[in-house]
Amino acid sequence: MTTAVGIDIAAKQVEMTYRQQGRCAPVSSFSQSPEGHAALIKKLNALKPQIVVMEATGVYYLDLAVALAKANLPVSVINPRSFRHFAELKLQGSKTDGIDSALLAEYGERMMPRRWSPPDDTRLALRDLARQINRLTHARTQAKNRLHALQAKKATFPLLVEDEQAGIEQLNQRIERLQQAVQTLIAKDAVLCTHLEHIQAGKGFGMTSAIAILGELCLLPEHLKGKQVSRYAGLDVRLRQSGTSVNSPGRLSKAGNAYLRSALFMPALSAVRYDPPTKAFYNSLVARGKKKIQALCAVMRKYLTGIWACLKYNQPFDTSRLFSEKHLKMG
């Protein structure tokens, strides 16, 4: 008897159901946490499924997929577009977490997608190190702002200034140690070395931002397309239009990987000032009535899709290939 499991993943919980002999069991919910993952794995081990299906969407699937793979469960991570087409073929109009998990189970039963291979320990370590550097860098920026505020006052007690300076120095040392660890890690992997060089070929990308971007992208399935990667980063535009009464301007969804958005911001800001093709594209958007922040986010989105293409096709990042000649003329 074949047992196919479907898992629908959200920010705070995981919905799971299994399918046997053409019928789905009731949906079970688990928290989106290490404890919830452990409880889910325990239940799956008891079921002994032939396939466990989830979508490669959002920022929450990866940790669970890695945990299932390490538990030697037959997990398959599928393209969201494939699942959407399957739902359309089933004429499924409603969409809830429970319905999606049941459809995923049926997808697994009928399609038997290939088993997913988790990223290796090097790439997982790279992501974790890059995120820690990001957190420490933000903490250092906050500390520098506090120091500036303290030094702006004449009546500040000297010990407070010394304490803040000591904290900044400690953060500098921690960041430097982690950056050295990342570079050592990357140096041992020829593919990661090449990817890092390709990202840094673009203007505006320093070592820190390139490491942060690579740490997030190196874990994504290679079959994802540029638009899917943009959604993963929360750089896709969501419109709100209905009839004649609702016509709100498009806004970034921001329902995605905040680390990627943060890593792309400063390179894009630098590029719109010093890189001619990027500056021309940015100016053309502003000339068409876009706000400056909207134009900058459009540059971030273009940069992300361009970097993803470079990693997939093993080519250096080149902004002259991202933008057309008309943008240069308009700039």
CATH superfamily of 3-111: Ribonuclease H-like superfamily/Ribonuclease H (3.30.420.10)
**pLDDT higher than 50, residue 192:** yes
- Contact between residue 68 and residue 122 where contact means Cβ atoms under 8 Å apart: no
Calpha distance 114→77 (Å, rounded): 8
Read off the pLDDT band of 229 (50, 70, 90): confident
The answer, yes or no, to whether residue 328 has pLDDT greater than 80, is no
Reported confidence tier of residue 223, pLDDT bands at 50, 70, 90: confident
Residue 37 confidence (pLDDT) above 70? yes
Confidence of residue 166 (pLDDT cuts 50, 70, 90): very high
- pLDDT of 320 higher than 90: no
What's the chain's average pLDDT? 87
Residue 219 confidence (pLDDT) above 90: no
Q: Residues 156-167: what's their mean pLDDT? A: 95
| Higher-confidence position of 201 and 243 | 201
Region 230-241: what's the mean pLDDT? 70
Q: Cα-flanking dihedrals φ and ψ of residue 94, to 5°?
A: -75, 155
Higher-confidence residue of 274 and 95: namely 274
Instruction: State the first-to-last Cα distance of the chain, in angstroms, to the nearest integer.
Output: 65
Instruction: Please indicate whether residue 11 or residue 315 has the higher confidence score (pLDDT).
Output: 315
What pLDDT sits at residue 204? Answer: 86
